[in-house]
Amino acid sequence: MIEAEEGAALSQVARQRSQTYWWLSELFLDAPDRDRIAGIVRGAREAASPQADLPLKDRLDELVLALEQSDADALAVEHARLFSGLGASYGATPPYESMHVGNEPREDRVTNVTAAYREAGFERIDVPAVPQDHLAVELRFMALLAANESAAWDASAVDQARALLEREQAFLDGHLLFWVPTYCERMAIEAHVPFFGALARMTVAVLTLDRQNIDATLRATASV
């Protein structure tokens, strides 16, 4: 059995992870406008108090500094060039998993992604205007899994919470960590606006740290 205090702590961690994935998903979906830039900067400053033990603080500081120095209109133009898939003559290869898997048939990758969603109980991830293997959709899927995991810890449903962690682990290994680090390395090189290079590095750092945290939680709860 997990004590109530420990379950509450695990729930809080899962909830924070869910919020981080959702936040990253939104940044890949839409360029920050002026109000959102101000909100992100304000939230980061509040989180980065002298007493805060903030994971990935260096990456967050880099992202916020780049955002403070960015023009909202320039962000919107560069966001479209990098992520919208408007055409090879216009911009970079968009963040669709099926376009970053070497010689593997693209259709197989899309099928594998959507199968992972269905196996987790989602017929599709409801993100408009982008394909289901878009990075924003895959990040949104992880956010939903972590939110469900948080609820399971709250309900003291340890087996269910661990099963969700194992599903998150499998999706990271089989999908996000399979293609996103290489994609983000290229994205950082191709970005004309510093914010998007910072976003690329932040994304890889989040995925790498989360994979380590999932392993640690599974080990810590293995005997309960």
Return the pLDDT at 18: 96
Q: Closest by alpha carbon to 63, among 224, 207, 197?
A: 197
Return the pLDDT at 53: 66
Count CB neighbours of 104 within 10 A. 11
**8 A C-beta contact, residue 140 and residue 22:** yes
Domain with 192 in it? 4-220
pLDDT above 90 (res 87): no
pLDDT above 90 (res 84): no
Does 86 or 151 have the greater pLDDT score?
Answer: 151
Residue carrying the six token digits 């950082």? 188
> How distant, in Å, are the alpha carbons of 37, 125, 180 from that of 44?
11, 28, 24
Residue type, 216: A
Return the pLDDT at 91: 64
Return the pLDDT at 40: 86
**How many angstroms separate the CA atoms of 61 and 198, rounded?**
9
Does 200 or 93 have the greater pLDDT score?
Answer: 200
Question: What is the CATH number for 179?
Answer: 1.10.3480.10
> How distant, in Å, are the alpha carbons of 125, 185, 209 from that of 99?
19, 15, 25
Count CB neighbours of 167 within 10 A. 18
Count: domains in the chain: 1
The mean predicted confidence, pLDDT, of the chain is 91
Return the pLDDT at 50: 53
**pTM beyond 0.75:** yes
Q: What is the pLDDT of residues 139-183, one digit of tens each?
A: 999 999 999 999 999 999 999 999 999 999 999 999 999 999 999
pLDDT above 70 (res 89): no
- In sequence order, the 6+-apart residues with CB closer than 8 A to the CB of 158 are 1, 2, 152, 221, 224
Return the pLDDT at 41: 84
Does 54 or 207 have the greater pLDDT score?
Answer: 207
Return the pLDDT at 5: 86
